[in-house]
Structure 1
Amino acid sequence: MPTIKDIAKSLGVSVSTVSMALNDSPEIGQKTKAKIREAAKAMNYIKNGTALDLQRKKTNIVLLITDNPTRPYFTDSLQVIQSELLKHNMDLVIIAATNKHTATAERFISENRADAIICMSKFITDEIVNDYASRNMPIIVMGRTPDLITNPFVVNVALDYERVGEDITDYLIQKGHRKIAFVRGSKTSVGSNYRYQGYLRSLKRFHLDLNKTIIFEAGGNGYDHGYDIADKIIGKITDASVDAVFFATDDLAVGGLRKFLEHGIRVPEDVSIVGYNNYPISKMVMPPITTVDLHQQKIMKRIAVTLIDLLEGNKTKAEVLKKLHKGNILYSEIIERGSVINRN
């Protein structure tokens, strides 16, 4: 099936030019539009573009692309976004893009099946985003490298991914911990891997021996994964090889806490533990777990409002970015509770 990329290649123009021309963008001249439409027709693009209506001016659909629609942070985000979109009679379509499958999301993007896109998945490349974003379909991405975003219709939310994992590791070190184990969740989890890399950077910055790091692979991000992996951690705690455990998610931390307590391991007296994401469960256990709040709901509400501003043309991109980045909600916040002891 021919794609917009095929049309662009045949004519020697950019993918974004083809995309805008097929969507009747006023930024593309009539001669260019006619040329591109003729090429699309000759390549049978319209006939084989499933569910695509090139004459449609507006879909009233926002496409939300995520790498994991089952996690609590996503369901929280979903509620906020839907609430804002409903105020403007817009529908939300959700597609998962993982390390194993991006074809569906890429097809929806290339065929312009939405009025706007919120891309929460790192598996959709900068190239795809830059190629297809247009005035008729702006794309909001998060935490991308600014220099690699070249399309003016891409809004990059400058989340501080470089500090992810470093924040809570720094906190533990400042509390006097030097034997900090890390429990990594699913290997395909972008967030878990970011936290792992941040953990290593923090240890290196404080001149702790990286050769002595203790890493546990939980195999997943849930409560049961944390509960099961804790069996392997207990021996390290009892022989004083570990004085703190950084679980990549709150669910992992809650599972680990349960297993520690069952085996008589006192938290935080024998070992401090921390989680990540500030899920509600983290404050419902005893002791409540110290964690990191990424302000996910506040961020997603602001993104949804920003999207509406873009679609309605109420603000310039500069004004949108200024409003989007106002305040400190794009930065992580440590939530101190009862699972960490000061060993200084």
Structure 2
Amino acid sequence: MVSIKDIAKKAGVSISTVSYALNGNPKVTKETSSRILAVAKELNYMPNAAARSLKKRETKIIGAFLTDFNGAFYGELLQGIKEVLNKKGYDLIVCSGAQSHRMLPERNIDGAIVLDSSFSSEEILQYAELGHKLIVLDRELNHSNVNQVLLDNKAGAALAMEYMIEKGHRKIYVITGPEASFDSMQRLQAVRQAVERHQPLTYTQIQGDFNKSAGEEAAERIIREYTEPVAVFCLNDEMAIGLYNAVKESEYRIGTHIHIIGFDNIELTQYTEPRLATIDYSKRKWGALASEQLLKLIADEEINHERIYVTLVKGDSVHSV
């Protein structure tokens, strides 16, 4: 039977380095770790089941890795995650930033839910290859230890675009999220497809950052360039709120001169005047389903990838032209 000593000898490294690499410890560089994993695969290395069971440490803690915690969106998502985990006897720890990734290789958690662009897909697959169980909310990956619970971003963006087009809008601004955001890229792809289907239709893309200040900055440009009624698709509601704030300080009126639709249907949009048109889905359900899928994955139950569906909230911020 092949041992870690055999791997160390063939790879030209120490036994401890092999052990670190096989357990995904960040002490080993990615290059060295990849070489050791390749040697282990070449030698058909299989961990000793008895030794592995002795080392296995069940923490009853799940990690949720988020890019940040700003905005109303994350509260509902985390509440959905927490409710399911607590019912099953698990606790939740919320993490952010590259240094927190060590929670996985150090086995401080039993599994992870990832909505965090600081994780590369290669890193996630490396952890999965080492046996870690992961749910991804922000990318498409195929591995037996990774399950996808994704928002139907394309359908939501298509609903938003079709709604504005039905209202007669042919000049549309689109305020995007961060360049690395999977959700933003998916929504933008659907925008471009809608534009292709409805020629002649022009759209102007403005780089945003999924926060209110990005919406306010975009509003300055839209107001400066204004010559006729325009529609604005904000790829999340936080930016739409920022746009509202800025437009209300100008001579223009929402729903008359500047027509706005958002995405997420956060609670604050219920108090906008006029009521913001947006794309709705259950953030709590998304988090709950992610937890359910992860617990099934940990229990080695057979599961399929899941999708969270969306609906249109028409509101009063988009009128016919």
Q: TM-score, normalised by structure 2?
A: 0.77
**2:69 maps to what in 1?**
69
Q: Secondary structure at the match of 1:273?
A: strand
Q: 1:266 aligns with which of 253, 273, 279?
A: 253
Q: Would the aligned equivalents of 1:119 and 1:140 in 2 still touch at CA under 8 Å?
A: yes
Q: Does 1:165 align with 2:192?
A: no
Q: Would the aligned equivalents of 1:143 and 1:161 in 2 still touch at CA under 8 Å?
A: no
**1:141 maps to what in 2?**
136
Q: Does 1:181 align with 2:181?
A: no
Q: Give the Å deviation of 1:245.
A: 0.9
Say if 1:115 and 1:14 are closer, same or farther in 2 by CA, change over 3 A.
farther
Say if 1:144 and 1:188 are closer, same or farther in 2 by CA, change over 3 A.
closer
- Matches of 2:34 and 2:244 in 1, distance apart? 55
Q: 1:335 aligns with which of 304, 313, 317?
A: 313
Q: 1:284 aligns with which of 236, 252, 271?
A: 271
**2:93 maps to what in 1?**
93
- Matches of 2:41 and 2:160 in 1, distance apart? 44
- For structure 2, the 5+ residue unaligned runs are 1-15, 23-31
Q: Give the Å deviation of 1:178.
A: 0.4
- Matches of 1:201 and 1:223 in 2, distance apart? 27
- Matches of 1:164 and 1:337 in 2, distance apart? 15
Q: Which amino acid aligns with 1:334?
A: L
Say if 1:338 and 1:217 are closer, same or farther in 2 by CA, change over 3 A.
same
Q: Would the aligned equivalents of 1:4 and 1:110 in 2 still touch at CA under 8 Å?
A: no
- Matches of 1:60 and 1:103 in 2, distance apart? 21
RMSD between aligned alpha carbons? 3.2
Q: Secondary structure at the match of 2:116?
A: coil
**1:40 maps to what in 2?**
none
**2:206 maps to what in 1?**
216
Q: Give the Å deviation of 1:297.
A: 1.4
**2:104 maps to what in 1?**
109
Q: Give the Å deviation of 1:287.
A: 0.4
Q: 1:202 aligns with which of 180, 194, 198?
A: 194
Q: Would the aligned equivalents of 1:144 and 1:156 in 2 still touch at CA under 8 Å?
A: yes
**2:288 maps to what in 1?**
301
Q: Secondary structure at the match of 1:13?
A: helix
- Matches of 1:262 and 1:132 in 2, distance apart? 50
Q: Does 1:225 align with 2:214?
A: yes
The percentage of aligned residue pairs carrying the same residue is 23
Q: Give the Å deviation of 1:292.
A: 0.8
Number of equivalences: 293
Q: 1:156 aligns with which of 105, 123, 148?
A: 148
- Matches of 1:153 and 1:260 in 2, distance apart? 47
**2:78 maps to what in 1?**
78
Q: Give the Å deviation of 1:180.
A: 0.5
- Matches of 1:253 and 1:330 in 2, distance apart? 22
Q: Would the aligned equivalents of 2:263 and 2:280 in 1 still touch at CA under 8 Å?
A: yes
Say if 1:7 and 1:265 are closer, same or farther in 2 by CA, change over 3 A.
closer
Q: Which runs of 4+ in 1 moved over 6 A?
A: none
Q: Would the aligned equivalents of 2:57 and 2:107 in 1 still touch at CA under 8 Å?
A: no
- For structure 1, the 5+ residue unaligned runs are 38-53
**1:118 maps to what in 2?**
113
**2:12 maps to what in 1?**
none
Q: Give the Å deviation of 1:103.
A: 5.2
Say if 1:223 and 1:144 are closer, same or farther in 2 by CA, change over 3 A.
closer
Say if 1:285 and 1:221 are closer, same or farther in 2 by CA, change over 3 A.
same
Q: TM-score, normalised by structure 1?
A: 0.73
Q: Does 1:247 align with 2:234?
A: yes
Q: Which amino acid aligns with 1:222?
A: N
Say if 1:159 and 1:66 are closer, same or farther in 2 by CA, change over 3 A.
same
Larger RCO (CA under 8 A, 6+ residues apart): 2
